[in-house]
Structures are given as structure tokens and as C-alpha cells.
Amino acid sequence: MVKKRIFCIVAAIVLIGGLAALLYADSRGDAGDRNKQGTAQIRAFIYHHFGKQDKYPSTSVSVKQFRNHLEYFKKHDYTVLPLGKALDRMYSGGDLPEKTAVLTIDDGYRSIWENAVPLLDKYGYKATIFVPAGHVGGDNYLSWEKVAGLQEKGHEIGNHSHSHPYFLNSDSGEIAEAFEADLKKAHALFRRHLGEVPDLYAYPFGEYHPEMFAVLEKYGYRAAAAQKSGVICPGSEKFALPRFPMNFHYAEMESFTEKLRMNALPVAGVKPESPVVSGENPPRLRIRVADSGIDPGGLQCFVSGQKNCTVKRSRQEGALVIQVRSRDKLDSRRTLYTITAPSADGEQWHWYSHLWVVPEIAE
Ligand SMILES: [Zn+2]
């Protein structure tokens, strides 16, 4: 009896010891991964037109501005990668240099070939070019020959839909269907002209919806890019990756380098997930920030760049919960709530943006 009890006690100690060792190893592993992931960040930029600022001021950069960006990367030892390669390295935990930048170009305009490609060739940088398949070959757009030529040069081609529609104008519950129908049309063209279908997607007008995520997953897409400013990190929603938009104004060096110095705000949960404003307007955003490396006291919020919002902070199960709401009704089709916070040591800034879309408002 005594022997049996001793055996039980010894067994229990061994078991508890083993469990503790396992948990310890696990927690170390988690912390190790978190640290590794914490440093993995990608600053991605969106360009549209090059050298067309008179005609398209909100989506153009000048050739000089673009050259300045590439020169800055070179001078400051940036690693410039196509989006797919940068994501591969980030998700595999492989070698992703701290100074990694991604150049993405949406819409497939002709000025890419005329004004951007000669500079990309000169500097040896590869970009990710998202083309709306149904527009290729049209006035002002690249031809399929040129798209294939870009691919031959080592640039990455992504899908930017077939006909660049406003998918969120479909009723909720019908978005996935409209999206899938357009996706299939685009795939047929990609297959015919390039012999393959891209595995990266960029939403027309950056307007995404969680209903689309399952469709992209079904067709084997690895990731999708939105048009909300922010830094990509392992915790980013892979089907709504943030990118900093570049235009004549934002492409000036002060604004551009500010984005390069930004860090991701480590967001662990977002409510609501959908950007569609349905119900109360102005909408309420609730985000959970898991990391304690930021100074909540220095938190700021912006509505389309203006400090016109209320912020509430609270603590829940060790996480910081931030609630943001615009003071005014959102009266544009697309609005960004942006939250910035200094790091705990005050040395760096963290950034997160959430997109809101009011589909009833036409552009
Ligand atoms: Zn577009």
C-alpha cells in the first residue's frame, strides 16, 4: 500500500515535471516565434500612373519622384522584393531583412512600360504588377505582349480582376458570387495569354470583403492586397494586406521616408471584420492589440487624415482594446480610420488602418 502510494507520488512528480518542461519549452518556442515574427515587416507601396500627374493627380507620381524612391532604396541598402517573394520569406520565418520594401503597381497602365520599367531595369528592382485582365490591350493600358514582357524581366504579375468593378455594390451575400464570376473570366484571359493564373490578388479600388476571402482561398490564392495604409506583418490578414498609396503628394521624400520608418501595430483582433458600413454611421471600430511594446498614452487616431475621432482605451485579459469612432457621419465612399502609437521606448511609431466603405455612395 505504502509502496503503491510512493509510486503514485513519484509518478505524479514525473508527470508534473514532464508537463512543466513541455509547457516551458512551448512557451519559449512561442516567445521565440513571436520575437522572430515581431521583427518581420514589409513596407509595401502602391503606384498607378508614372509621369501623368496633370491628368491623374490623385494616382500619379512623377518620374523624378519614382527615381528618388529607387535611389533612396539603393543608397540606404533596402532589399526590394516582389510581394510574393517577400511574403514567402516572412511566412517561412526565413531571411527577411529589416529594410524590405515592396513596389506594387495597380491597373496596368501604359506609363508603367514607358516610364517605370526603364528605371526598374536601371536599378535592378522587381515589382509586382496587378493587371485588370479585361482592360489589357485597351487604350492607355499595356498589351498582353508587354505584360508577358514584364514577366520575362522578372516582375511578378498579379490579378486585379477582369473588369475592375465595384464588388461591394452587390448585396451582402451576393458579393462572393459576383466576385467568383469575375475571377473566372480573368483566369481564362491569364491562362490564354500568359499560360498561367496569378496567385496574388489586388482588389479593385482596394474594396475587399470577407466573403471574397473564401473564394480566393478556393482558387489557390496566397494573399491579396488592399489599399489601406499600413505595414505588413505576420499577423496581418493575408487577404487584406495593407499598402501605402503613392501619389504626387505622398510621394514626396518626407512623406515617403516617414512610411519606410513605420512599424506595424500588432493587432490581434478587429471588429467588425467587414469594411461595409451598415447600420450606424459613423461606425465604431474595435481593435485588440496584443503587444505591450507600445505606449497607449501616445495613441492617436485619424479619419481620412484628420484628427476627427474619439478613442477609448481599456484592458481586457492583458490586451489593450482600442475603440475608435469618427465624430462625423462618413460621407465618402471610402474612409480610413488610422491609429498610430509610439513604441514603449518612444523611438518608433506603429500604424494601423481600417477601411470603411459606404457602397450607397458613388464616386
Ligand atoms: Zn485598380
245 and 313 in a common domain: no
Distance of CA 233 to the CA centre of its chain: 8
Local confidence band at 291 (pLDDT 50, 70, 90 cut-offs): low
For range 78-86, the mean pLDDT: 97
Q: For 254-263, write each residue's pLDDT tens digit.
A: 999 999 999 9
238 and 206 in a common domain: yes
280 and 233 in a common domain: no
223 and 317 in a common domain: no
Rg (CA), the chain: 23
In this predicted structure, the answer to whether residue 182 has a pLDDT above a threshold of 60 is: yes
Domain contains 106:
yes
- Separation between Cα atoms, residue 266 and residue 289, nearest integer Å: 6
Q: Which of 89-93, 116-120, 174-178 has the lowest mean pLDDT?
A: 89-93
Q: Which CATH number fits the domain that encloses residue 118?
A: 3.20.20.370
Ligand 1 centroid–CA 338 distance in Å is 22
CA atoms within 13 A of residue 208's CA, in its CB half-sphere? 26
Local confidence band at 19 (pLDDT 50, 70, 90 cut-offs): very low
Ligand 1 centroid–CA 163 distance in Å is 10
225 and 113 in a common domain: yes
In the listed set 263, 284, 315, which residue is the last one of a domain according to the structure? Answer: 263
Ligand 1 centroid–CA 237 distance in Å is 20
273 and 213 in a common domain: no
275 and 254 in a common domain: no
197 and 132 in a common domain: yes
Ligand 1 centroid–CA 319 distance in Å is 36
Higher-confidence position of 34 and 258: 258
Ligand 1 centroid–CA 40 distance in Å is 27
In this predicted structure, the answer to whether residue 193 has a pLDDT above a threshold of 70 is: yes
Ligand 1 centroid–CA 222 distance in Å is 19
In this predicted structure, the answer to whether residue 123 has a pLDDT above a threshold of 90 is: yes
Ligand 1 centroid–CA 147 distance in Å is 16
Ligand 1 centroid–CA 22 distance in Å is 49
185 and 204 in a common domain: yes
Ligand 1 centroid–CA 160 distance in Å is 7
> Which protein residues have a CB closer than 5 Å to ligand 1 (ion)?
106-107
In the listed set 213, 232, 263, which residue is the last one of a domain according to the structure? Answer: 263
For range 323-347, the mean pLDDT: 95
For range 271-282, the mean pLDDT: 94
Q: Which CATH number fits the domain that encloses residue 303?
A: 2.60.40
Ligand 1 centroid–CA 291 distance in Å is 34
- Separation between Cα atoms, residue 206 and residue 169, nearest integer Å: 13
With left for phi above 0 and alpha for psi between -120 and 50, is residue 183 left, alpha or beta?
A: alpha
Domain contains 288:
yes
Ligand 1 centroid–CA 328 distance in Å is 28
Q: Are 251 and 245 in contact (CB under 8 A)?
A: no
235 and 295 in a common domain: no
Question: What confidence score (pLDDT) does residue 36 get?
Answer: 38
Q: Which residue in 85, 106, 121, 81 sits closest to 158, CA to CA?
A: 106
Ligand 1 centroid–CA 48 distance in Å is 8
Question: What confidence score (pLDDT) does residue 56 get?
Answer: 78
In this predicted structure, the answer to whether residue 250 has a pLDDT above a threshold of 90 is: no
Q: Which residue in 228, 227, 247 sits closest to 65, CA to CA?
A: 247
Domain contains 28:
no
For range 1-8, the mean pLDDT: 46
Q: Which of 57-61, 280-284, 306-310, 327-331 has the lowest mean pLDDT?
A: 57-61
Question: What confidence score (pLDDT) does residue 29 get?
Answer: 33
With left for phi above 0 and alpha for psi between -120 and 50, is residue 346 left, alpha or beta?
A: left
Ligand 1 centroid–CA 269 distance in Å is 28
Ligand 1 centroid–CA 59 distance in Å is 10
In this predicted structure, the answer to whether residue 3 has a pLDDT above a threshold of 80 is: no
Percent of the chain with pLDDT over 90: 77
Strands of 334-342's sheet, edge to edge? 263-264, 349-357, 334-342, 300-303
Ligand 1 centroid–CA 130 distance in Å is 8
- Separation between Cα atoms, residue 221 and residue 217, nearest integer Å: 6
Domain contains 29:
no
Ligand 1 centroid–CA 257 distance in Å is 24
In the listed set 263, 298, 333, which residue is the last one of a domain according to the structure? Answer: 263
Domain contains 83:
yes
Ligand 1 centroid–CA 182 distance in Å is 14
Q: Which of 48-62, 148-162, 203-217 has the lowest mean pLDDT?
A: 48-62
Domain contains 12:
no
Ligand 1 centroid–CA 272 distance in Å is 25
Number of domains in the chain: 2
Local confidence band at 95 (pLDDT 50, 70, 90 cut-offs): confident
Question: What confidence score (pLDDT) does residue 32 get?
Answer: 32
298 and 205 in a common domain: no
Looking at every residue in the chain, the average pLDDT score rounds to 89
In this predicted structure, the answer to whether residue 79 has a pLDDT above a threshold of 60 is: yes
314 and 255 in a common domain: no
Question: Cell triple for residue 304?
Answer: 481620412
Domain contains 26:
no
> Residue 282 sits in which domain range?
269-357
Domain contains 6:
no
Ligand 1 centroid–CA 227 distance in Å is 10
